[in-house]
Amino acid sequence: MYKVQEVATIAGVSVRTLHHYDSIGLMKPSNIGSNRYRYYNDDDLKLLQHILFLKEVGFSLKKIQELVAEGFDATFALTQHTALLRKKKERIEKLIENAEQTQLEYAGVRELSNEERFAAFSIKKKDDNIKMYLDAPVQETADSPENVTEEFIEEEEILEEVNFTEPEPVVEEEEVDNSNTSTATATEKPEKEEEDLEEINREGDRIYNAVSSLMHLPPESPEVQIEMKAYYNLLDRFYNCSPKMFRGLGDLYANDSRFARNIDRHGAGLAKYLREAMYIFADGLADA
């Protein structure tokens, strides 16, 4: 297990970046110790590597969240990383060649046509269509609705949930950033605008508490489903949340002890009740 400062040093990212990934649910630590320190394992670092690959080939954090939320095959993703990085390499080589040719022009050695002057810039920078990462075949069974199996959800643990709430601030001695262990600067801004995260967290807490107070009702009750609509819309602010994804997240919340513990703080058994309510709402969307 690695503390947040150790992960920052290994990966060459800032502690603040790791905290931001945690706060938006993109990459959460596998464990938070009794000392309230974040601890990451090797699987967390593998996910971080994929996130950094995706950033390197030009994906925004919003797109990365959407991709990770859809679930992707890590091995297949590496082939796509390689293909896109090769395209990036080709473009950079063309840009270097263009700059060198322009140097010769400025030295009076040759003259560039306007077509030559801008040829390197016409090469496409990136392809941020997440579907290119989702074309790998997925193992499916008929054990659950729309074949969203526990195995599929375990793959989706590289997505993690939107972390609406934590019981108390996580205070870590090693969280203090410094120039020796981080690429961050004093003026560095978060890599994604936080999209009113405090307001989103408050709304997430409100929904959890509201649903907890309604657990005496069947999950298909209109009062509960109104909250499910609000919950769906909240998640949809981070990525295009499909009915299948909404069901998958419900399974993740109920089956993963980390999520279940976090959600059940609002009411014993809430995670499983929430899954049932999310299933019902997702089924309604699928039938619409």
Q: How far is CA 121 from CA 106, 135, 184, 212, in A?
A: 19, 29, 30, 55
Are 124 and 36 contained in the same domain? Answer: no
Phi-psi region of 7 (alpha: psi -120 to 50; beta: other; left: phi over 0): alpha
pLDDT value of position 175:
43
Q: Among candidates 48, 47, 59, which has minimal Cα distance to 15? A: 48
**DSSP at 84:** H
Are 152 and 280 contained in the same domain? Answer: yes
Give the chain's domain count. Answer: 3
Tell whether 85 is covered by a domain: yes
Tell whether 215 is covered by a domain: yes
Are 109 and 216 contained in the same domain? Answer: no
Are 208 and 113 contained in the same domain? Answer: no
Helix, strand, or coil (residue 39): strand
Are 152 and 260 contained in the same domain? Answer: yes
Report d(CA 31, CA 33) in Å as an integer. 6
Count of other CB atoms within 10 angstroms of residue 46: 12
Tokens of 88: 């990036």
Are 15 and 127 contained in the same domain? Answer: no
Please report, for the domain that includes residue 28, its CATH number: 1.10.1660.10
Report pTM. Answer: 0.47
Q: How many residues does the chain have?
A: 288
Mean pLDDT by 10 residues, the chain (288 residues): 90 88 84 82 91 88 81 83 87 89 88 85 64 58 35 35 42 42 38 52 86 94 93 78 85 82 88 93 78
Residue 89, domain extent? 74-132
Are 286 and 224 contained in the same domain? Answer: yes
Is residue 161 within 8 A of residue 239, CB to CB? The reply is: no
Are 287 and 158 contained in the same domain? Answer: yes
Q: Are strands 38-40 and 31-32 parallel, antiparallel or unpaired?
A: antiparallel
Residues with Cβ within 8 Å of residue 216, at least 6 apart in sequence: none
| Single residue among 110, 132, 154 that ends a domain in this structure | 132
- What's the one-letter identity of residue 153? I
